[in-house]
Each structure stands twice: as C-alpha cells, then as structure tokens.
Amino acid sequence: MSVHDEGPLLKVMGVTKYFGSRVGCRDVSFDLWPGEVLGIVGESGSGKTTLLSSLSGYLEPSTGTVKYWMGQEGLVDVGRLSDPQRRYLMRTEWGMVRQNPREGLRMRVSAGANVGERLMALGARHYGKIRSEVFKWLDRVEIDLGRVDDSPETFSGGMLQRLQIARNLVTKPRLVLMDEPTGGLDVSVQARLLDLMRSLVSELGLSLIIVTHDLAVVRLLAHRLLVMRNGEVVESGLTDQVLDDPHHAYTQLLVSSVIQP
C-alpha cells in the first residue's frame, strides 16, 4: 500500500448510465480521497447500486469517466484499462463486498480457502504463510479459528458477511466498494458488523464507498455523503451536516423517517 498525497484516489466525472431510455444514474461526479469513507444513500431504485456497478467496471457507463490513481501512472481512466489490467486491479487494489455474501464467496470451498484465494491469486505459494494470514484475518473479523476448514454453508449470515470482508481485505486493497453490507441482517448482528467495519477502516486507512439505504450505517462510518434520488445526486456534503441539517426536501424526508440509533 503506497501513500500518496497528490490528489484523490478516485475521480468520478459525469457518470451517466442509461438502460435503453431509462436512466440508471445521471451526471454523478465526486472525488474520493485516500482514507475517506463515502456513503451513497437513497431508496431502492435511486440509482445507487447502478452507480456502484459503473464505478467497479461491472457496468460500462453510457457517458462520463472514472479515474483511479495508479501510482507511477497517475490517474488512469478505468474504462480504458485492458481486460487483464482491470481484472488485476480488482483482485489487488480493489475489493468488492456484496449485499449477498453468497455472491462474493465461493460457497463450495472452505472458509480458509475463501480467505487464502486472493493471496494465491497474487502468487503466494507457501502454505504455512498463507495459512497464518488466513488465521490472522479470521481472527480479525472475529470468526472462531476452529471454523477455518468448515464450509461457509454452515455459517450464519453475519459470519458470512465477515468472511466476505476478510476475503477482500487479505490483500490489503486501497479501495473497497460495499453494496448494502448490512442488508438482511438482524439489528444486533448489524451493530457488531458496523463496529468491525469501523475499526478496520481506521486501522487500514481504507478508502471506502458504501452504498446503503440505512442512514444509521453511514452516520457511523461515512465521512461524506451523496444522497441520490431518481438516478441523480440531490445533496452532498459532510455526513453530520447532511444528516443534521438537510437542505434538500428529499433528504429531509429521508432523515425524518429514520429512527435514530
């Protein structure tokens, strides 16, 4: 992980995604700085997941560019990377945590193999070292080390999500994208996951983009917020400002309908 202080890690400029004539997201721009956590909030259908997919290269934006800081090469247009370069980036410097951990994990191999895979993909060929990294990360995400060789099929929802996080963080990515990471979990399980995420973010200096409909999540984690509605950003700013003093009528509605944690 190299620190750079020359500018943003990610520069998103005018990203627009159409599905036919329907707008997925329109004209979204923001900078993400190293170590910054950006929350993207909105109801379902607001375009936040489309935006996340466009950032990760999973969807190709109709217009607009996403630039990522690649050290020596400076800010590089992610859309113009070759397929091998993009795939390499996705398994080294980027992480992706999905709402449904089953989509982000290999459910047919052991928990330990799930965590070790990215290391092996990057060329780790010493079993003992891989194994000890696996233990370190299972411990870090509070999974009982006795479960290391168990199938994820035997894990609870909260454990699966923590396993998915360990699988992504084991290679120390610089940028992690999360799509509703607490979705579908019980409130007490959510709270534990949020605590864990908060300590990991500060410990690792991660840059994080977290998409959620849950304002409690972003209040706890995000430095800055984008509020999306109908595919557009209607308000943005520091998290506390946006949540405590919302300017846009839609944000006011969102905030008022939320039970404070």
* Footprint of other proteins (CB under 8 A): 83-84, 87, 106, 108-110, 112-113, 116-118, 120-123, 125-128, 130-131, 148-149
Q: Which of 154/256 has CB closer to other proteins?
A: 154
Please, which residue, 82 or 257, has the CB nearer to other proteins? 82
Outline where the chain has alpha helix (H). Answer: 48-56, 83-92, 101-104, 111-121, 127-140, 157-169, 187-204, 215-221, 239-244, 249-256
> Which CB, 4 or 87, lies closer to other proteins?
87
Closest distance of CB 120 from other proteins, Å: 4
DSSP notation for 82-117:
-HHHHHHHHHHTEEEE-SSHHHHS-TTS-HHHHHHH
Q: How far apart are CA 44 and CA 65, in angstroms?
A: 24
Tell me how far, at minimum, the Cβ of 153 lies from other proteins, in Å: 15
Give the whole-angstrom CA distance, residue 169 versus residue 92.
10
Q: How many other CB atoms are found less than 10 A from the CB of residue 132?
A: 11
DSSP 68: E
Question: In terms of Cα–Cα distance, which of 197, 167, 48, 169 is closest to 103?
Answer: 167
Q: Which is nearer to other proteins, 149 or 203 (CB)?
A: 149
Task: Give min distance, CB of 61 to other proteins, in A.
Answer: 22
Report the nearest approach of other proteins to the CB of residue 161 (Å).
21
**Nearest CB to other proteins, comparing residues 5 and 83:** 83
Angle between helices 157-169 and 111-121 (to 10 degrees): 20
In the complex, minimum distance from the CB of residue 91 to other proteins, in angstroms, rounded to a whole number: 8
Distances (CA, A) of 101 to 140, 185, 212, 222, 249: 18, 11, 15, 22, 34
Identify whether the C-beta of residue 30 lies closer than 8 Å to the C-beta of residue 12: yes
Q: Could you tell me which residues come within 8 angstroms of residue 101 by beta carbon, excluding any fewer than 6 positions away? A: 152, 157, 160, 161, 163, 164
Q: In this complex, which beta carbon is closest to other proteins, that of residue 136 or of residue 247?
A: 136
Number of H helices, E strands in the chain: 10, 10
Nearest approach in angstroms of CB 127 to other proteins is: 4
Q: Which is nearer to other proteins, 124 or 189 (CB)?
A: 124
Q: How far is the CB of 92 from other proteins (least distance, A)?
A: 11
